[in-house]
Amino acid sequence: MNALLGLYDDVVDEQALSRSIDRFRTKGILLPTFAQLADPRQIDPSLTAGISADAAAPANLFRVHWHNDASRTGRVDMPDYLEVPSALTGVEARILIVFGNRFPMIRAHKVLAAYACLAPRVVSGSFDPTHHRAIWPSTGNYARGGVAISRIMGTRGVAVLPEGMSRERFQWLEGWIASPDDVIRTQGTESNVKEIYDACRELARDPDNVVLNQFSEFGNHLIHFHVTGPALEEAFAGSGGGRLAAFVSASGSAGTLGAGDYLKERHGARIVAVEALECPTMLYNGFGEHNIQGIGDKHIPLIHNAMNTDDAVAITDRATDQLFLLFNLEAGRDYLRSHGVDPAGFEHLGLSSIANILAAIQTAKAHELVEGDVIVTVATDGSEMYQSEIEKIRAKDGFNPATTFGRYLLDGETGDFLELGDEGRRRIFNLGYYTWVEQQGIPFADFEARRDLGWWRSLRPLVHRWDEMIGEFNQRTGVTSGSNR
């Protein structure tokens, strides 16, 4: 099961580990611990000085955290965020959205998940960069993050993603892959995750291919609990405090929802999972196609702690598409200014980021949140990843700033909201059976163990063990911060 879930707590292949150590020594690669990524004040700033944030440089591993500044070359004490103005949201509760496009290489926080999934495999000897290929199934950003981390670690990364994703994703990949064969385009768009899994099943027949499936790799969940959760807590505290009422995040792989587990334990925040109304799997066991890129669906990820999720929200992609135009076209930005809304900062919001804001608004209304209540969410990536979508959206639906503002913000015609309760949680949990037990071969007992919240808590010491293993690995390579450039 460790091979499927990424749950290694000791060395499994000393020979592979020795080859990795030799490779990292030769290439001067030093690995950051997860404790350093959670608290970058532990990282010597000179380590990344003079290194471009977009370079395939080992030093950029030490920028895989939430505390990069807008240039992505310096650090800030508190993660950068936008407080969405009430003139836009129409609710009294404050909504904070923390920027993910501050991360290096890919300008999206999925590079953090990619590092968390590969690093434990390297230091346990279960992944040998001298002959394994890292397979990264995704609807976009995680695959890009995986390719970036693979290249830095001196191994070959393969992106598996739907052919219908934004052109910018493929353009980025073309500049980072070793061969055109390292981008595998599967059928469909966001909702075609099974087609990604099918391609990975074929690739896994070759023992040199290691599939790092973000939907089932628990490193993805754990890194967001240990790193993203505290970062969001810092943003909340620095914003002036109040009551942290909810954490909102599009499901996608469900990794980022792990931050909600942290915030719920620390602050009692509700965990709100978001999906597309055109594919309402959690709300209605539904299916369909949509354009909220970055939240692949039609299934429940194995790493989704469904029994700890409080609400589910479905947002229509008509709203996210049109608001993307409102936030990025000059006519839309002028309209916002004329209605007392400063559009500064909205360029840091990609399509799923806008969905998160709309879901936060729905949450505030559904629970009648008031002044002093705070909702925290994340902007996975920024608008730079979707400029090619602008003309597609205009050609399909047109654009009228006043209509968009009135329909999707003033009137709130954005989607549906469901407070789950125990029955709703069990229903969502049960939906995962068909993907993970019937299709992907997860043993039924291991699938069922995830119902117990204590099982999830039992995973958390793994991160501290991984840090010990990373420290031992770095000692054996002999690489120091001065040579990790």
- Using pLDDT thresholds of 50, 70 and 90, give the confidence band for residue 482: low
Q: Would the CA dihedral through 213, 215, 218, 219 be positive or negative? A: positive
> CA 143 to CA 136: how far, in whole Å?
5
What are the pLDDT digits (tens) for 211-260? 999 999 999 999 999 999 999 999 999 999 899 999 999 998 999 999 99
Asked if residue 447 lies in contact with residue 314, where contact means CB atoms within 8 angstroms, the answer is no
What are the pLDDT digits (tens) for 326-367? 999 999 999 999 999 999 999 999 999 999 999 999 999 999
What are the pLDDT digits (tens) for 380-390? 999 888 888 88
Asked if residue 375 lies in contact with residue 96, where contact means CB atoms within 8 angstroms, the answer is yes
What is the rounded average pLDDT for all residues in the chain?
Answer: 93
What are the pLDDT digits (tens) for 267-296? 999 999 999 999 999 999 888 887 787 675
Which secondary-structure segment (H or E) carries 81? strand 81-84
**Among residues of the chain, what percentage have pLDDT more than 90?**
84
pLDDT at 470: 98
CA atoms within 13 A on the CB side of 281: 29
Does residue 1 have a pLDDT over 70? no
CA distances from 21 to 205, 331, 462 (A): 27, 55, 21
* Domains, the chain: 81-103+219-431 (3.40.50.1100)
What are the pLDDT digits (tens) for 176-218? 998 999 999 998 766 677 888 899 999 999 999 999 999 999 9
Does residue 485 have a pLDDT over 70? no
Which secondary-structure segment (H or E) carries 336? helix 330-338
Q: Going by C-beta distance under 8 Å and a sequence separation of 6 or more, which residues neighbour residue 338?
A: none
pLDDT at 224: 98
- Using pLDDT thresholds of 50, 70 and 90, give the confidence band for residue 484: low
pLDDT at 453: 97
pLDDT at 288: 83
- Stated pTM of the model: 0.95
> CA 380 to CA 35: how far, in whole Å?
22
Higher pLDDT among residues 101 and 166, named by residue: 101
Asked if residue 132 lies in contact with residue 30, where contact means CB atoms within 8 angstroms, the answer is no
> CA 332 to CA 140: how far, in whole Å?
27
How many of the other CB atoms lie within 10 Å of CB of 413? 12
